[in-house]
Each structure stands twice: as C-alpha cells, then as structure tokens.
C-alpha cells in the first residue's frame, strides 16, 4: 500500500514560460531542478504551506503536449481571490472562469496556465475548515 502523495507531474513544451507562471503568478517555490536518466528536464515546485510537489517536465521525445479540455487541474487555496485575480491579470493571466460562490460560501475561480492546464483557486468561506 502507498504511504503518501509525493508529487504530480505535468509535461510541458515551454519550460521557462510555464515556470514563470507557476512562480510569478501563483507564487510557488522551486525546490529542485534536474535532468532525468532519459533526458527529461524536471523542475519541482511547491506551495508555501504544502508538502506535496508539482513536477514540471519537458521531454520533447514524447511528442507535442496536448492537454484535453476539462481533463485535469490543480487546486490552490488563496487568501483573497479578488487580489489574486488583479495580480494574475496584471501578469497577463486573467481569470478564465468565475468567481463563483459555492454552497458553503467559498469563492472559486479558474485561471489557465501556459500549455492549457487549468488552475482552480479557492478562497475558503470564513469559518470553513
């Protein structure tokens, strides 16, 4: 049996553009950069208050990256969704959906990362766990 989730991998074509998005727009921290035994360029990122990592992989040998619509996304908690939306839009990444208020009062929105991956942003309702 598995013990814990370590990381999730997303493969991309433009590594540096993608890293600028995850670092500058989302504020993720780079924890490691390496080349795998098969030649993949790998960069590991994490959110400041999370243990799990995101692995961004560039491996041209796998062919073009094709991200299907509504196939996968990462979800991050934000303190202030409105402030995030302004920051993100200033950097060229406006919200692609939302904001919407959920049944528990949380506010949810989405922004599209380079390569077409969707990122969900959640501002938890006051008092929500």
| Nearest C-alpha neighbor of 17 from the set 110, 117, 122 | 117
- DSSP annotation of 24 reads I
- DSSP annotation of 90 reads H
**Could you tell me the sign of the dihedral formed by the alpha carbons of 89, 20, 25, 117, in that order?**
positive
What is the Cβ-side half-sphere exposure of residue 36, based on CA atoms within 13 angstroms?
14
Distance CA 48, CA 5 (A): 17
Q: How many other C-beta atoms can be found within 10 angstroms of the C-beta atom of residue 55?
A: 16
Q: Is 51 known to be catalytic? A: no
Could you list the active site residues? Answer: 120
């Amino acid at each position: 049996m598995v013990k814990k989730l370590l990381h999730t991998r997303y493969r991309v074509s433009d590594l540096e553009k993608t890293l600028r998005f995850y670092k500058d727009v989302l504020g993720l921290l780079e924890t490691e950069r390496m080349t795998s035994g098969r030649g993949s360029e790998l960069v590991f990122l994490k959110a400041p208050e999370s243990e799990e990592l995101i692995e961004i992989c560039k491996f041209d040998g796998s062919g073009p990256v094709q991200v299907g619509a509504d196939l996968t996304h990462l979800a991050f908690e934000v303190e202030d969704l409105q402030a995030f939306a302004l920051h993100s839009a200033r950097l060229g990444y406006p919200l692609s959906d939302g904001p919407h208020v959920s049944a528990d009062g949380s506010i949810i929105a989405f922004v599209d990362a380079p390569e077409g991956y969707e990122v969900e942003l959640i501002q938890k309702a006051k008092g929500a766990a």
